[in-house]
Amino acid sequence: MTERIKVLYIAGSGRTGSTILERILGQFEQIGSYGELRFIWDRGYAGNWPCGCTKPFRECDFWQAVMAQTFDHQPIDIDAVLHLNQHVDRTRYVPQILGIRRTQQFKQDFEAYTALLQKLYAAIIDVSGKPIIVDASKFDSSGFILGQMPGIELHVLHLVRDSRAVAFSWQRRKMHRMSDGRERPQVRRTPVRAALEWLKLNALAEVMRWHSTSYQRLRYEDFIQNPSASIAHILQQIDQPTDELTRFLSPTGVTLQQQTHTVAGNPNRLDYGEIPLRLDDEWQRKLPPRAFALVTLLTLPGLLRYGYPLGRQPNG
Ligand SMILES: [Zn+2]
């Protein structure tokens, strides 16, 4: 291994606004953003979900070239890859990923899986010509896996959003557009499930600080309030110049021009052009009182730690 591959990994809970953030980062010359890369095997290759360029994954030129290079132009045994993925990239394997009580079987699977990821990330850089990868997977085990790979220089961006906003978002009905034109509902979660997941993923994202080259925490609300400053901080974290910033960021929004080949993420990853950046605070009025109280109580330590007001801010 000559040079380590620089990866900016967005960690934290789902529904934190990571899709718009990573798409902004993907507009920079040196930075490529690819959505939630942990889904590349199941939703991407096996499921053939649409890429951010709107083509089905297996018909997208970019991913075709990446896959060919990753697998040395050999046929892909996707079942074997999915099997490996399921036996390595799961929360319950985090201790083993970190080297605690690894079984012989896990060791074998882990080595095979990380060797595959290394080839995948190298192929992404070769094909895109962009030396930095943004991976918005957010999930805990995927981040820890990258942190254990000697060929990866891992930078963690821990994205946090008010737990009540996250719980509200998990209840919304949104549709994914599929490759064949059908629509598929986005996964929904109960407030309790959303709250517990929020606690777990934020706690584990904080642990990633000890397994990465750099770590910074960003609140989604602060990012929306001052996108330029937040993006500038992120660019500094990965040692990148900030002079391209004004090209597509204005005080009210962002212009997304460059097509991004994203694997998965919020359905809005398929939107292009002028996109307003505004705080989505519908939850302040619409999250039912019982759910509001329940989520506030369950996530109290996190809300206090990240500096969120506990009551509703009707004008906020
Ligand atoms: Zn594509």
Predicted confidence band of residue 270 (pLDDT cuts 50, 70, 90): low
3-state secondary structure 109-125: HHHHHHHHHHHHHHHHH
Q: What CATH number labels 5-305?
A: 3.40.50.300
Distance in Å, CA 34 to ligand 1 centroid = 9
Tens of pLDDT, residue by residue over 253-267, are 888 876 789 887 676
Note the pLDDT of residue 1. Answer: 47
Distance in Å, CA 120 to ligand 1 centroid = 15
- State pTM to two decimals: 0.93
Distance in Å, CA 71 to ligand 1 centroid = 18
Note the pLDDT of residue 2. Answer: 59
Distance in Å, CA 53 to ligand 1 centroid = 4
Distance in Å, CA 271 to ligand 1 centroid = 14
Distance in Å, CA 61 to ligand 1 centroid = 7
Tens of pLDDT, residue by residue over 195-224, are 999 999 999 999 999 999 999 999 999 999
Distance in Å, CA 263 to ligand 1 centroid = 8
Tokens representing residue 200 in the block: 């777990």
The domain locations on the chain are: 5-305
Cα–Cα distance, 27 to 255 (Å, whole number): 9
Q: Mean per-residue pLDDT for 93-108?
A: 96
- State the angle between helix axes of 104-128 and 61-70 in degrees (0 to 180), rounded to the nearest 10: 130
Cα–Cα distance, 248 to 282 (Å, whole number): 27
In the predicted model, is pLDDT for residue 316 greater than 60? no
Distance in Å, CA 32 to ligand 1 centroid = 12
- The CA-atom distances, in angstroms, between 284 and each of 139, 164, 235, 261, 314 are 26, 8, 32, 34, 6
Cα–Cα distance, 239 to 241 (Å, whole number): 7
Distance in Å, CA 270 to ligand 1 centroid = 11
Distance in Å, CA 186 to ligand 1 centroid = 21
Task: Looking at mean pLDDT, say which of 146-150, 223-227, 309-313 comes out highest.
Answer: 146-150
Distance in Å, CA 133 to ligand 1 centroid = 15
